[in-house]
Amino acid sequence: MDIQAIKNRFGIIGNSPALGYALQVAAQVANTDLTVLIYGESGVGKEVFSQIIHALSSRKHNPFIAVNCGAIPEGTIDSELFGHEKGSFTGAVDSRKGYFETVNGGTIFLDEIGELPLGTQARLLRVLETGEYIRVGSSKVQKTDVRVVAATNKDLLEYTHKGKFRQDLYYRLNTVPIRVPALKDRPEDIILLFRKFAADFAERYKTAAVQLDDEAKDLLIRYPWPGNVRELKNIAEQISVLAQDKLVTARQLRQFLPEYNTNRMPVLATGSGNVSHAEFANEREILYKLFFDMKKDVTELKKMFVDILQNPQRAGAAVAYANESLLNDYHDVEREKNISPPALVQPAQPVLIDNNDIYEHEEVEESLNIMDKEKELIVKALKKHKGKRKDASSDLGISERTLYRKLKEYDINE
């Protein structure tokens, strides 16, 4: 089955290359029994990929069940997955089959796998390795033939380093990784998805579908979508129900979009002294800022050096000022601790310099504005790659969506 057929069958909207690649991997691995680990932010549609894998596999006529590991209390999750015997714990009035028993021969989707307790992780590893499990309160080993597809929005490798996730289970689950792209990395799909959702809600509520003007579309694309496709669907439903006009402007759209930080300049976090990642719109801009600050400092040092060479008396004034500061500090603090007076700064010995060795300082008129430099780099990258956004964004170290937003923001014509 080709990718477009899969999209049509499962109602997937989008032409993003990253989305297409994820679907291709899912289709290729479906007809095997390999364990699959699906990565992606919350709301990107990871469960749909598990359904695709099951539907295209030889197990498609057998049971499929989705289990949210984060929604089951730690004290009962072993019972839910592996079953329990009567009287094995308080409230166990009857024996109960677990999911690995009821779904035998089928597929089990373990969402939020990173939330599993360590004890349950050990039990799951045994199932993956040997196909064996034991009910809670029993000593009888049982067999199961279940394919496991897991998903997470966490960095499981980092969890293994922190002792929150078993390393052996991580590598066992990560046989075939599939990364589902976030909506902010699929700017070309945002308007398509909105139109689909708007049409669906128009049909449900028996009304005309809402549309967006050009400015509203641009605003929708520039919004970061922390809730991904799920958030976009909710926004589309709100607009379909509450919008006064069927042609929504950017001003009207802002009433439905939550506030988000549009500050492009780096800001230092207060309190802990750490820098919050969320307070930076772009890490590259931080590097630009540091670079130009350093350049400014070097320029000032050059001017000071040349000024001292041309005016030796100023060097003496600087030494006198330094000595005065040292003595003031000593009288205010150090004397109370019975510490000897500090060694004073000695004027440098005069150095004979030929006039020909003094370089004339030339002030270079150059813009140090970050936005100007960023625009210049983007234009250079586009020229270098002959207008190909994908190659240009890769060279710049930013996402294709970010490049698209910058082109709009700086009014760059390709």
- At residue 147, the pLDDT reads 96
* CATH tag for 184-254 (out of 1.20.1600.10, 2.40.30.10, 1.10.8.60, 3.40.50.10320): 1.10.8.60
Length of the chain: 414
Q: Which amino acid is present at 286?
A: I
For residue 67, pLDDT beyond 80: yes
Q: Residue 394 and residue 364: Cα distance in Å, rounded?
A: 32
- At residue 413, the pLDDT reads 76
Q: Residue 107 and residue 148: Cα distance in Å, rounded?
A: 6
Please, which contacts does 69-76 make with residues 24 or more away whose CB atoms are closer than 8 Å? 69/110, 69/111, 69/112, 69/113, 69/114, 69/115, 69/116, 70/111, 70/112, 70/115, 71/112, 74/117
All CATH 3.40.50.300 domain ranges in the chain, comma separated = 3-181
For 127-177, the pLDDT digits (tens) are: 999 999 999 998 899 999 999 999 999 999 999 999 999 999 999 999 999
| Strand-strand pairing, 64-68 and 107-111 | parallel
As to burial, measured by CB atoms within 10 angstroms (0-12 exposed, 13-18 middle, 19+ buried), residue 82 is: buried
Highest mean pLDDT among 205-214, 291-300, 301-310: 205-214
Supply the pTM of this predicted model.
Answer: 0.61
**Mean pLDDT of the chain, nearest integer:** 81
- At residue 371, the pLDDT reads 73
For residue 393, how many other CB atoms are within 10 A of its CB? 21
Q: Does domain 370-410 have CATH number 3.80.10?
A: no
| Banded pLDDT at 219 (limits 50, 70, 90) | very high
Residue 293 backbone class (left: φ over 0; alpha: ψ -120 to 50; beta: rest): alpha
- At residue 275, the pLDDT reads 42
Contacts of 319 (CB under 8 A, 6+ apart): 345, 346, 347, 348
Distances (CA, A) of 15 to 48, 196, 252, 334: 17, 14, 28, 71
For 21-44, the pLDDT digits (tens) are: 999 999 999 999 999 999 999 999
Does residue 348 or residue 187 have the better pLDDT? Answer: 187
For 111-131, the pLDDT digits (tens) are: 999 999 999 999 999 999 999
For 79-92, the pLDDT digits (tens) are: 999 999 888 777 77
- At residue 103, the pLDDT reads 95
- At residue 56, the pLDDT reads 96
| Banded pLDDT at 359 (limits 50, 70, 90) | very low
Does residue 61 or residue 378 have the better pLDDT? Answer: 61
Closest-CA residue to 341 (of 352, 353, 356, 329): 329
For residue 248, pLDDT beyond 90: yes
- At residue 109, the pLDDT reads 97
Q: Does domain 3-181 have CATH number 3.40.50.300?
A: yes
> CA neighbours within 13 Å on the CB side: how many for 166?
16
Does residue 386 or residue 299 have the better pLDDT? Answer: 386
- At residue 60, the pLDDT reads 95
Q: Residue 51 and residue 49: Cα distance in Å, rounded?
A: 5
For residue 228, how many other CB atoms are within 10 A of its CB? 22
Least-confidence region, from 6-15, 165-174, 192-201, 399-408:
399-408
SS3 content of the chain, % helix, strand, coil (to 5): 50, 10, 40
Percent of the chain exceeding pLDDT 70 equals 73
- At residue 297, the pLDDT reads 63
Structure tokens at 82: 């592996």
For residue 294, pLDDT beyond 80: no
| Banded pLDDT at 274 (limits 50, 70, 90) | very low
All CATH 1.10.10 domain ranges in the chain, comma separated = 370-410
| Banded pLDDT at 264 (limits 50, 70, 90) | very low
- At residue 383, the pLDDT reads 85
For residue 71, pLDDT beyond 70: yes
Query: What stretch of H or E contains 149?
Result: strand 147-152
Least-confidence region, from 78-92, 100-114, 223-237:
78-92
